[in-house]
Structures are given as structure tokens and as C-alpha cells.
């Protein structure tokens, strides 16, 4: 059945891939995007763009009269480091935006809401897979904003909202912004590997992460839309695999055929030492099986990045 969706942030990386898949499936898609990190050209053909911030009443007002089957909230400032530049802006862009969209959905017959939360909510954790019931202790204002959004969703659940929060781990892949060297570990290193004479790593190479390809994230998001079992729940969305920064750089060097000097300098504000996901819950409830190994995903991304102008 053809549906109508609001995918916020469709001028950006994940929202763009999500909106494109929904349009390809024949659905009608609207987006709100303020183009702060996204690009108009990235909005997939056929997606209706409202240019503005999701936290701005004027943007929400432009949704009047539209009937959405679900709101998929992927707009937001996406970097822990950048959240230190202006914490008040971060709160508005990442949390007030959620609150205004929840209110709009409840008042306009669209209780279904999927939220792009983040593994940043967890903060520093032990060297073991982290499950959803781990007590969050965010290290950045970004993580605080994501966690606060999850809690707004939880409270509005009792007022009829049907919300799901997806704690995304490190998402990478084709379409990631390669010109923003403060956002996205994979895209930052890859951009430097392809264009600069050296790769500057802000932090140690034994930090570890759980890298997940964007199509795996988007496919599980679409699968969840019509799944009442996920209402009121939070899921880790990762691969369950632990890779260090050194592993990541080694694969990139191997798959690109390029070898650059790697310089370790300074730290990244609000950075987590290491984290990877326990994905038992999403596996059990949705038979979630990420399709892309890190090797294959990076190989595809490198091929794309070599062909693409940025």
C-alpha cells in the first residue's frame, strides 16, 4: 500500500538514503531540512522539501493539511565534537526539534514516530558488547540531546505516541558528507586518505567502534515502520562487531591501494574510548542481520568516493 512519510533530514546522509528507498517503493515523501550540513542536490528526486529547522514553528506550520503515516526523524546536528561549539543550538536542533515533531504528530493523526538516536547516549563503557539496558552517561551535549529526545518519546508514549528510538552506532557508506572533517569517523579518514598528504587522527588508534553500513540501517528502519512490537522501545542498531581505528585504517589503505602517513594528534572532544553493540534484542525481535561486512562496505564506499566530486 502506498503511504505518505515525513523523513526529516533528507538532504543529509542517512535521511537521503532512507527517503530515496521509500520513494523507490512508490511512497510519497516529504522532508524538512535546514541544509545546515545537508545539500539541496542530495534530496532525492520526488521528495518534497520544506527548507527550515524542525525546531522552528514556521517549518512545522508548513506541514498543515498533510496526512503522514509515519514521521522518521533523521534531521539533526550529528557530531559530538560540534555540540561543544554551541550547546544551546544543539539542544534546539536535536531535542526541541523532536519535541515539536512529536506534538505535530499527535495533534495531526500521526502517532508513529521513529527516531535516530545514537550510541553516544552510553558514554564510556567497558570493553564488551553494550545492550540497551546499560545506564546511559553521555559525554557530549550531542549525547545528552539524543537521550533527552528518547525520554520525551517515552513520556509521550503514554499520550498515544507509537515511538521507536534507534541507537545508531557508526554509520558509514555511499552519500556520506566527505567535505565535513568534523563529522563521521569513516568519512573523515577516507576524505584525508583520498585527498590529503596525510591522515590526522584525533585520538588513539586502539579506540574501537561498531561500524554499520547505511543500507543496513535504512532497511531495518523501513522494516520497523509497520511493526507494533517496536512501539515504545529502544534498539541498538549496529553489527555487534568490534573494530579499532587501526583496523579501520588498515582496511581503507588495503581497499584503496593508497598509503598515506598517519599522524596521531590531540583528542576529539566528547569522544568515547570504545563501544560496540549488543544487538541481541533487534536480532531476536526482527531477525536483524546486517548484510555488509566492514571490508565490503568500505570497498563500495571507496569506489563511490573515488568517482564522486566533493
Q: Of 125-133, 170-178, 222-230, 255-263, which part binds ligand NAD (CB under 6 A)?
A: 170-178
Q: Of 8-16, 83-91, 224-232, 247-255, which part binds ligand NAD (CB under 6 A)?
A: 8-16
User: Nearest approach, Cβ of 125 to ligand NAD (angstroms)?
Assistant: 15
Q: Which residues pair with 55 in a beta bridge?
A: none
Burial class (CB in 10 A: 0-12, 13-18, 19+), 204: middle
Under the binding rule (CB under 6 A), the answer on residue 184 touching ligand NAD is yes
User: Nearest approach, Cβ of 102 to ligand NAD (angstroms)?
Assistant: 14
Under the binding rule (CB under 6 A), the answer on residue 170 touching ligand NAD is yes
Under the binding rule (CB under 6 A), the answer on residue 111 touching ligand NAD is no
Q: β-strands 208-209, 243-244: how paired?
A: antiparallel
Contact partners, residue 133, CB within 8 Å, separation at least 6: none
> In sequence order, what DSSP letters do the residues of 242-285 get, joined into one string?
-EEHHHHHHHHHHHHT---EEEE-S--TT--SB--B--HHHHHH
Which parts of 67-96 interact with ligand NAD (CB under 6 A)?
A: 74-78, 93
Query: Which C-beta is closer to ligand NAD: that of 53 or that of 260?
Result: 53
Under the binding rule (CB under 6 A), the answer on residue 43 touching ligand NAD is no
Q: Hey, what's the cell of 268?
A: 576529539
Under the binding rule (CB under 6 A), the answer on residue 145 touching ligand NAD is no
Of 6, 30, 38, 233, which one interacts with ligand NAD (CB under 6 A)? 38
| The dihedral formed by the CA atoms of 190, 195, 200 and 206, expressed in degrees to the nearest 10 | 20
Q: Which residues pair with 63 in a beta bridge?
A: none
Of 6, 7, 15, 235, which one interacts with ligand NAD (CB under 6 A)? 15
Q: Angle at CA 11, nearest 5°, toward 208 and 229? A: 65
Which parts of 195-254 interact with ligand NAD (CB under 6 A)?
A: none
* Pick from 109, 92, 106: nearest CA to 57: 92
User: Nearest approach, Cβ of 261 to ligand NAD (angstroms)?
Assistant: 26
Of 5, 6, 9, 298, which one interacts with ligand NAD (CB under 6 A)? 9
Q: Hey, what's the cell of 219?
A: 532497511
Positions that interact with ligand NAD (CB under 6 A): 8-9, 11-15, 32-38, 53-55, 74-78, 93, 97, 116, 118, 168, 170-171, 177, 184
Amino acid at each position: 500500500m502506498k503511504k505518505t512519510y515525513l523523513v526529516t533530514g533528507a538532504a543529509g546522509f542517512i535521511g537521503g538514503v532512507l527517503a530515496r528507498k521509500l520513494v523507490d517503493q512508490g511512497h510519497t515523501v516529504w522532508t524538512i531540512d535546514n541544509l545546515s550540513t545537508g545539500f539541496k542536490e542530495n534530496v532525492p528526486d520526488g521528495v518534497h522539501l520544506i527548507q527550515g529547522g524542525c525546531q522552528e514553528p514556521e517549518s512545522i506550520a508548513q506541514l498543515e493539511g498533510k496526512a503522514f503515516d509515519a514521521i522518521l526523524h533523521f534531521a539533526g546536528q550529528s557530531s559530538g565534537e560540534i555540540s561543544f561549539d554551541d550547546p544551546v543550538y544543539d539542544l534546539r536542533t536535536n531535542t526541541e526539534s523532536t519535541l515539536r515533531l512529536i506534538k505535530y504528530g499527535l495533534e495531526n493523526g500521526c502517532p508513529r514516530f521513529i527516531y535516530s538516536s545514537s550510541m553516544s547516549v552510553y558514554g564510556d563503557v567497558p570493553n564488551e558488547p553494550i545492550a540497551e539496558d546499560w545506564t546511559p552517561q553521555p559525554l557530549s551535549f550531542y549525547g545528552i540531546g539524543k537521550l533527552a529526545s528518547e525520554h520525551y518519546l517515552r513520556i509521550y508514549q503514554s499520550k498515544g505516541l507509537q515511538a521507536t528510538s534507534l541507537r545508531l552506532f557508526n554509520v558509514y557508506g555511499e552519500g556520506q558528507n566527505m567535505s565535513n572533517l568534523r563529522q563521521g569517523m569513516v568519512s573523515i579518514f577516507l576524505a584525508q586518505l583520498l585527498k590529503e598528504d596525510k591522515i590526522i587522527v584525533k585520538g588513539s588508534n586502539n579506540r574501537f567502534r561498531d561500524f554499520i553500513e547505511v543500507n543496513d540501517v535504512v532497511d531495518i528502519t523501513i522494516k520497523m515502520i509497520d511493526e507494533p512490537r517496536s512501539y515504545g522501545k529502544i534498539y541498538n542498531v549496529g553489527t555487534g562487531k568490534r573494530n579499532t581505528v587501526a583496523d579501520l585504517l588498515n582496511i581503507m589503505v588495503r581497499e584503496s591501494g593508497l598509503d598515506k602517513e598517519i599522524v596521531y594528534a590531540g583528542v576529539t572532544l566528547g569522544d568515547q574510548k570504545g563501544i560496540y553493540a549488543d544487538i541481541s534484542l533487534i536480532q531476536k525481535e526482527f531477525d536483524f542481520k546486517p548484510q555488509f561486512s566492514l571490508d565490503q562496505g568500505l570497498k563500495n564506499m571507496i569506489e563511490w568516493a573515488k568517482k564522486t566530486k566533493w
